[in-house]
Structure 1
Amino acid sequence: MTDKKVWLITGAGRGLGVDIATAALASGHAVVATGRDPERVRAAVGAHDDLLVLELDVTDPASVRDAVRDAVDRFGRIDVLVNNAGNFNAGFFEELSPEEFRAQLETTLFGPVDVTRAVLPVLRRQRSGLVITISSTAGIAGQEFCTAYAASKFGVEGWMESLSPEVAPFGIRTMVVEPGFFRTELLSPESTQYAEATLDDYAERTEQTIAGWKSMNGRQGGDPAKLAAAMVRLATQDEPPRRFVAGADAIATVEQKAQDLLAQAGAYRDLSSNLAHTDA
């Protein structure tokens, strides 16, 4: 790949997607900024000679295919795919409807899967490229009120980890970004939908959790512009990290999860180590 790369970014109409597009353009790259509302994307990112704004809904495969085709028609290649589009269906598992749970998976798991499926043939032909998918610490450690979101992000982690060795022989690299709490729009009313409170057993905890998260919106410690700049920097390396744990709070979460896994693996080591057939 040359120093100037072509970036295709989903969810570039607001939040982190805008910062990634801005950082990539500022570093001299060409950007295909996509979103469900192209006018919103154009207004958020601004005008630039190396910018192409396209409509792309990650839950609409035809929209995905059209955007990838138009990106290649304009720039001739795609070097960096950023699977960034997302939302948040929050609530206790029993109060999340099956439709809400599936909708979360459609956007934040199957959305990146479908976009990547459309882009990979381009990258294989080039024998180069980088697939970046925005995960979350919710893909490392689950917590209450996040069953649907964590399920999608745990899925992202396993999918990307397994994809990496499949595409490496073609010169394609992968990177999962695992942010902690950044001051994006994820907790805003536009991005977060709360399950309807229907069960008295959860009512008090639901009220407390929603109040806590709403009070956190706009006050998260992480700076998304700095995260975007870090991603652009890492993307230029010959061997980008397979995982980028983003934020001091994210590092603490990953370290604690690693300790917990080691403790859980060792707790019943003797019992677990004696489960083989006796003739093995």
Structure 2
Amino acid sequence: MSVPQIWLVTGASSGFGRAIAQAAIEAGDIVVAVARRTAALDDLVAAHPDQLETVALDVTDIDRIDTVIADIVGRHGRIDVLVNNAGRTHVGAVEETTDAELRALFDLHLFGPAALTRAVLPHMRAQRGGAIVQMSSVGGQLSFAGFSAYSATKFALEGLSEALAEEVAPFGIKVLIVEPGAFRTGLFGPGTAAFSAESEVYADTAGATRRMVEGGDGTQPGDPAKAAAAIRTALAAEHTPLRLPLGSDSVDAVLGHLDAVRDDVLTWEKVSRDTTFDEN
């Protein structure tokens, strides 16, 4: 029998985090589920007391992360998979979004995952293997009106992760950037989605995104359980992809965006290339 893997999943109380935790448990693995409010996981703990434990942690509490990771490794001996999943949505035009709102989102989507990644890497390097799953978004590849702050944080996470993948590959550590489209995770639910104060001048642009989020909860086409299965399949592959778009909406949007970028580059290629110093 194979040795159970040890998963550390943040934002595990709902949505993708809970689905990933459930998939790991069903595969016979052990999950350390991190959440700000762990009571939402009491049912899973009761059903799987030998496979699931919870840790109360806000991933923006950077000062606690090293201690939490050391405690987990001390009890389990290793961490095989880190899933940086904790997050939330935010809607607002650039002009509507305050510095405080933007910084708080970067703390959650970039600085928290970066700190957790730094904390687990010495252990993964020592064991010569592991995987880091970064839950990004289709908004980590492209953006549109109203999602400027959200996409900025996910773009940053993807840039960090792309470099990380190259740095840790020699140690047998995989990095997987997951880019979901619209999934039924509760991300758009009442009290979950955050909104900047609305300005009427952006009613037709960022405002349209605001209305979509306000009315979109429960109608998203994506199934979190199928997303969790796809993530496990990608991690188990001999050649794990760096990026994994999830959902037809994500695949279509990413491919369309790549085509648009390529068209711009080719259209302006001569101007772009003609910027070198002239030879004497």
TM-score band by shorter chain is over 0.9
* CA spacing shift, 1:45–1:211, aligned 2, 3 Å: farther
Q: Where does residue 155 of structure 2 map in the other structure?
A: 154
1:4-15 mapped onto 2 (5 Å cutoff) = 4-15=4-15
CA contact (8 A) 1:89 1:148 kept: yes
* CA spacing shift, 1:271–1:208, aligned 2, 3 Å: closer
2:237 partner letter: Q
1:30-70: CA deviation from partner (whole Å, max 9, x where unpaired): 11111112222334565311212111211012332232122
2:147 partner letter: C
Q: Could you tell me how far 1:273 is from its partner in structure 2?
A: 1.7
Alpha-carbon distance in 2 for matches of 1:173, 1:208: 38
CA contact (8 A) 2:10 2:85 kept: yes
Q: TM-score, normalised by structure 2?
A: 0.94
Q: TM-score, normalised by structure 1?
A: 0.94
Q: Could you tell me how far 1:205 is from its partner in structure 2?
A: 4.9
* CA spacing shift, 1:206–1:259, aligned 2, 3 Å: closer
1:1-280 mapped onto 2 (5 Å cutoff) = 4-43=4-43, 46-48=46-48, 49-197=50-198, 199-203=199-203, 205=205, 207-279=207-279
- How many equivalent residue pairs? 278
CA contact (8 A) 2:135 2:179 kept: yes
Alpha-carbon distance in 2 for matches of 1:238, 1:72: 26
* CA spacing shift, 1:191–1:104, aligned 2, 3 Å: same
Alpha-carbon distance in 1 for matches of 2:213, 2:228: 23
CA contact (8 A) 1:187 1:213 kept: yes
Instruction: State percent identity of aligned pairs.
Output: 38
C-alpha root-mean-square deviation of aligned residues, in Å? 1.7
Q: Could you tell me how far 1:276 is from its partner in structure 2?
A: 1.0
- Structure 2 residues not aligned, in runs of 5+: none
Alpha-carbon distance in 2 for matches of 1:207, 1:273: 39
Residue 8 of structure 2 aligns to a residue whose secondary structure is: strand
Runs of 4+ in 1 over 6 A off after TM superposition: none
* CA spacing shift, 1:111–1:152, aligned 2, 3 Å: same
1:60-84: CA deviation from partner (whole Å, max 9, x where unpaired): 1233223212221221100000000
Alpha-carbon distance in 1 for matches of 2:155, 2:102: 14
Q: Could you tell me how far 1:238 is from its partner in structure 2?
A: 3.5
Q: Could you tell me how far 1:191 is from its partner in structure 2?
A: 2.3
CA contact (8 A) 2:59 2:86 kept: yes
Alpha-carbon distance in 2 for matches of 1:256, 1:181: 17
CA contact (8 A) 2:184 2:221 kept: yes
